[in-house]
Amino acid sequence: MQITREELGNPVEERDVDRTELYLADEAFFCGTGAEVAPVSAIDKYEISTGVGPITARIDKAYENLVRGRDAAHADWAVPVHAASREPVHADD
């Protein structure tokens, strides 16, 4: 929601949504830590899109840039992960 509002300038409203509103949507997507930004193509067997729509693509790109550290706008959202220096493990050791 914050990415959409700040990065793309799109209005955001948090509210309950009736299922029929979803059937009429131009685009829909899931988002979260594991799914990141994943397009939804059908709801209850009603096809709403055939792929990634333009708004979903813009949100996905902005999300990717933020979480991969390519956009410093929200650097506090990312935590650097550093590879530990270790000796390789051999099967016969």
The answer to whether residue 91 is domain-embedded is: no
Instruction: For the full predicted model, state whether its pTM sits above 0.95.
Output: no
Cβ atoms of 43 and 28 closer than 8 Å: yes
Tell me the mean pLDDT in the region 43-70: 90
H-helix or E-strand spanning residue 32: strand 29-32
Q: What CATH number is associated with residue 49?
A: 3.20.10.10
User: Could you list the residue range(s) of the whole structural domain that residue 37 is in?
Assistant: 2-74
What does the DSSP 8-state code read for residue 46? E
The answer to whether residue 7 is domain-embedded is: yes
User: 73-93: per-residue pLDDT in tens?
Assistant: 888 877 777 777 666 666 665
Tell me the mean pLDDT in the region 44-70: 89
CA–CA dist 3, 29 (Å, integer) = 14
The answer to whether residue 18 is domain-embedded is: yes
The answer to whether residue 84 is domain-embedded is: no
CA–CA dist 32, 87 (Å, integer) = 35
The answer to whether residue 49 is domain-embedded is: yes
Per the structure, the count of domains in the chain is 1
Place of tokens 């131009």: 26
The answer to whether residue 55 is domain-embedded is: yes
